[in-house]
Each structure stands twice: as C-alpha cells, then as structure tokens.
Amino acid sequence: MAKYRTVTADKLSEGDIGRQHTLCGWVENIRDHGGVSFIDLRDFYGVVQVVMHNAELLHAISREDCIMVSGIIEARDEETYNPKIPTGTIELNCSSVTILGKVHKPLPFEVATSRETREELRLKYRFLDMRNKKVAKNIVLRAHVTAFLRQQMTSLGFLEVQTPILCASSPEGARDYIVPSRRFKGKFYALPQAPQQYKQLLIAGGIDRYFQIAPCFRDEDARADRSPGEFYQLDFEMAFATREEVFAVCEKVMCETFAKFAPQAKVTCAPFPVIPYSQAMLEYGTDKPDLRNPLRIIDLSQFFMECTFKPFIGATVRAVKTSGRMSKTFHEKLLSYALSIGMGGLGYLEVGEDLSFKGPIDKFIPQPKKSELIALAGLRAGDTIFFIADTPQRAPVLAGKIRQELALRLGIIEQNAFRFCFVTDFPMYELDDQTGKVCFTHNPFSMPQGGLAALDGDPLEVLADQYDLVCNGVELSSGAVRNHDVRIMERAFEIAGYTAEELRQKFGALYTAFQYGAPPHAGMAPGLERILMLLTGEESIREVVAFPMSSSGQDLLCGAPCEVTEQQLREAHIKIR
C-alpha cells in the first residue's frame, strides 16, 4: 500500500467516479467561495480540481504548498467542465488534507508565468521554474528524445561506450576547462571538449561502431544556440566507413527522430541535399543555409566590371532577386537593416512590365547591358533585385544576411518544416588573422581530399573530407572522414606549423595508435540541445537544459563558480595571484 498517494493525475478518469483516492502535489490555485472552496492540485503528470465543503480543510494552505488530499472522485456539474485539462469532467471531494511541505517565504514569481520573468531570477529559483508545465515539458521531451536516440543507435549495431571525463588538454579547438591534479604537482587534467581522440582510439582498438550521448565541456561565451560550460551530443564513429555511410546513418536517425517528435511537421526525406561549401557561400551567403528560404544569391561581380557605377567596380557584388514590388517604407526599413549590419547602402532595381528598370542605380547600367542582366539574374516583369557589394570576405556574408532578412520580411520562409542538408568540402587550411600563418580551418584530424598527394600544392586549395549537418539554418553537427595514416598526419600538421616531435607530444595517443594498423573510419556528432531547440521552437538553448548556466556562465542556483578553501588550494598545489 502506497504511503502517500494511490493515483497520479494522468491516471484519473471518469471511470474513477465513486472511488476513494489520495493524491499528492502542489497547490496551483485557490478559489474560496465562502461555503465551498476549490484547489487546483498540480502534480508532475497533470492538474486535478479538489473541492472542499469544510472551510477548516483550507486553513493554513497557500499556493505552492506541497499537500496530500484524500476523498471521493465525483463528476463535475456539466456547466463547470474544464476542457483545457484531461481531468476537466471530474473532481476530488476532499475529506482530509495534510501539508507535506509548507511555503515559508513569499514566492519570487508566479509559477504559471515564470517564463515571463527575467532569466536570472528564474535560474536562481530553478526548482520553482521547473514546476511551470512548459519548462517541465521540455525536460520530459529531452529525456524521451535521448532514450529514442539510444534505441536508434543500438538498433543500428552501435555499441555505447563511455569515454573519460578527465583527460589531457588539447591545443586545438575552444578553450579547455582545466582541473588541477593533487597527486601530480603542477600538472592538470582537462574536461573533454569532445571525445574526439578517445572515439578514434576505440576504432583503432577494434570497436566497429561506437556511440554515446557525450558530455562536452568548453570554456566559451554563451549565445542563443550555445550553452556556456557544457553540452551533450550524439557522438558516433564507424570503422571501414565512407562519408556516404555516415550520411545514411545520420539521415535515418534524424528523419525518424523528427518524424516521431514533430509528427505534424514536414521533414526532409533521405537522401539529404549535399551542398559544397563554396556553393553554400555563393548561393546562401553562409555555411549554415536555411533551405526553408527559397531565395538564392547570384554573383554579379564580373557584370559590374563593365558598368559605370564606381562603388561596384572591382568589388565583389552579390544580388538577391525577389518577386513583386516593395513599398517605399519597405525599402527604407530594409536599408536601415543593411546599415545596421555594416553595409554602406543597398542598391536595388525594379523590373517593369516592359522589362525596363527603375531604381537608384539604373542610370549606371548601359542600355546594351540591361538585357544581359535580365538573362544573368533570370529577371521577369514585377521582380525586384537587391545588390550587395563589398570585399570578397564580407560580401557573401552580408548577402546571406540580406537574403534571410528579405525572406523574413516577405513572409516566404516555409513554416512547420525541418529542412536538412549536408555541407561538404570545407577548406582544410586558412591564414591566421593575427599571424598570417597557415593554420587548420576546422578539425585537424580530418583526411585531406586526395590524401598525401593533395598536400604537395597550395595549402589554401586543399579540401578536407569534412562535413556539417545543417537544419533550418542551424548547424547540428560537424563530422569527417578521419586522417588515420601517420604519413599524411605528419605532413598535414607540418603545414600547420607542427614538428613531428610536437605532434607526438600533443597527440601522442593517436599518433602511436595509428602506427599499429588503424582502420579507415568516419563519424559525426549531432548536438542534443540544438536538436531539442528545433523540436521545441525555443530561441535559447537554456530552455532545453534542466540546470543551465546563465548567459554570463554562472550557476545562479548553486553558486558556481565559487571560492574554495585555502586547504583545497594547497592540496591542489595552487596559489591565487
């Protein structure tokens, strides 16, 4: 016999009418009508109305008290039905009530409207915020999605393996969280930014298909789609696998996950579109293209070399074409947006019924060139085309922002849809902004396309066999075919300024393992929080984390980071300076 309750809110129905039941939960609302009082009792599973005909039962009870009530389940009067809750046709006629946990202080905010409270206060009292049904719903969804992902990966023959949390610091990627060692004076562990090296070592050790819901730790600033401190990812790796085989696993898991948890939405079917990085930057102005947006960017740099508009001559010129003419107010607001993102202006042309042009830069385009522009841009009567001109580095990015802003303002982004794609063929190397030296663009463990021979030419022309998974303009994952050949690894790191000795010191485990018959392998790691952000439609990643840090990287609930004792510092051989 249960000590506290005989049923939870989700199990109650009209079939329980006439039965004695005991429920436990929190007082969500109190309505005192003199001779009769009502309590909305909320537990983890739902809400039940409790009716009290004895005024003494309500004595000393306040909102958010944790209570136990007993009584007979009765049918409500039809005119008092509440269609908003599953138990809206029944109520518990209370015969006894026990306060299990009393509220002793004023509530810092109303639980029902906690999401409208400033975030710092919500996080300080996160245990109250969790009682909000929307917050709780996100936590429950996370648990269900995580369980489903595990089920999917196991059914595909992947083995779940936990990799270490205390590891060696890596010189690549984001900033490490470091952990001082008590036993080894002056030495430090690091929390893993990702299980990158360990999962490759598992493959080298003969594990054929590995996965885990992996915790990752990076000391970086927060933003809407990035949680400071820690995050989780569906990390998986496959031996003897090509890029296409990794894609096939990803497509199956993502399609089934989004179909299950967003059944009303349109989801891209496999195979997902594959877009090379250079094409993505040209047509979308970003390596994270939102395919719900039908607008495309075109390159008109060469065309404007032969026109008389000086700001465009010699510049990288991109254009975005839309259907329909815009009002003067529309153009003014779009220009204001363009100026806010650092553009000097925003030229445009409207196409008339006779295919003539009207707009600020019409007079700078020679008449013979106008038909050429119509052909290049595929212009038709009623179209409007916008021009973005800047440096080769800035023009694509600015064009991407104008493309997205135009689609938002025109209301042409596909709704209730999840549109996936893979972005591939990233540059292996780039020039460091500060030193001007060649460095890795992304993951240094990616295989260069073309192998060792590809590393004999211009490093900036080398493409990595690396790929990203993108959905609705959000990067969900990066991945790669890994570099498992010691000779290629030595040459790849040499180009980035590492000597063979530095390679052995900094990446010794992988360097050694790859000298003992490592198989070709590939993998990726979709981010769990970003998947949940898309499924829930939340704008902040902190809304899908049970105990998130604040935007400043603090745990406001438990007070981390915090000071430690002098004794703790001495044991870790640390002195604050």
- Predicted confidence at residue 506, as pLDDT, reads 84
> Which residue in 284, 330, 346 sits closest to 472, CA to CA?
284
Question: Could you report the per-residue pLDDT of 351-369, keeping only the tens digit for each?
Answer: 999 999 998 888 888 888 8
Buried b (16+ CB within 10 A) or exposed e, 473-508: bbbbbbbbbbbbbbebbbbbbebbebeeeebeebbe
User: Tell me, what's the pLDDT at 309?
Assistant: 80
Q: What is the pLDDT of residues 199-214, one digit of tens each?
A: 999 999 999 999 999 9
Dihedral angle, C-alpha 214, 551, 123, 8, nearest 10 °: -40
Q: Is the distance from CB of 43 to CB of 11 less than 8 angstroms?
A: no
d(CA 201, CA 180): 25
What angle, rounded to 10 degrees, do the helices at 394-410 and 328-340 form?
A: 140
Q: Which residues pair with 148 in a beta bridge?
A: none
pLDDT of residue 220: 83
Q: Report the alpha-carbon distance of residue 421 to residue 470 in Å, rounded.
A: 5
The whole-number pLDDT of residue 85 equals: 94
Question: CA 271, 272, 273: angle at the middle one, nearest 5?
Answer: 115
Please tell me the predicted confidence (pLDDT) of residue 171.
65
Q: Is the pLDDT of residue 558 over 80?
A: yes
pLDDT confidence bin for 279, thresholds 50/70/90: very high
**Do 207 and 161 touch, CB atoms closer than 8 A?**
yes
Q: Could you report the per-residue pLDDT of 79-91, keeping only the tens digit for each?
A: 999 999 999 999 9
First to last CA, the chain: 60
Q: DSSP state, 181?
A: -
Which of these, 313, 298, 156, 136, lies nearest to 241 by C-alpha position?
Answer: 156
311 in Cβ contact with 297 (< 8 Å):
no
Distance of CA 284 to the CA centre of its chain: 20
Q: Where are the alpha helices (DSSP H) in 51-132?
A: 119-124, 126-129
User: Pick from 94, 125, 117: which is nearest to 27 by CA?
Assistant: 94
Q: How far apart (Å, rounded) are the C-alpha atoms in residues 507 and 498?
A: 11
The DSSP letter of residue 489 is H
Give the confidence band of 66 by pLDDT, cuts at 50, 70, 90: very high
Per DSSP (E only), the strands in 85-228 are: 90-101, 159-160, 178-180, 188-190, 209-218
Q: Does residue 172 have a pLDDT over 80?
A: no
What are the pLDDT digits (tens) for 421-452?
999 999 999 998 888 899 999 888 899 999 99
Domains along the sequence of the chain with CATH: 9-101 (2.40.50.140), 136-273+421-545 (3.30.930.10), 293-413 (3.30.1360.30)
List, in sequence order, every residue forming a beta bridge with 358; answer none if it has no partner. Answer: 350
User: What percent of the chain has pLDDT above 90?
Assistant: 81
Scanning 442-564, the segments in alpha helix (DSSP H) are 486-495, 500-506, 508-513, 528-536
Q: Are 372 and 316 in contact (CB under 8 A)?
A: no
Handedness of CA 173, 179, 183, 185 (dihedral sign): positive
- Our measurement of the distance from residue 316's CA atom to the centroid of its chain's CA atoms, rounded to an integer in Å, reads 32
Task: Say if CB 465 and CB 423 are below 8 A apart.
Answer: no
Tens digits of per-residue pLDDT, 481-492?
999 999 999 999
Q: What is the 3-state secondary structure (H, E, C) of 204-236?
A: HCCCCEEEEEEEEEECCCCECCECCEEEEEEEE
DSSP state of 464: B
Average pLDDT value for residue range 134-146 = 97
What are the pLDDT digits (tens) for 107-122? 999 999 999 999 999 9
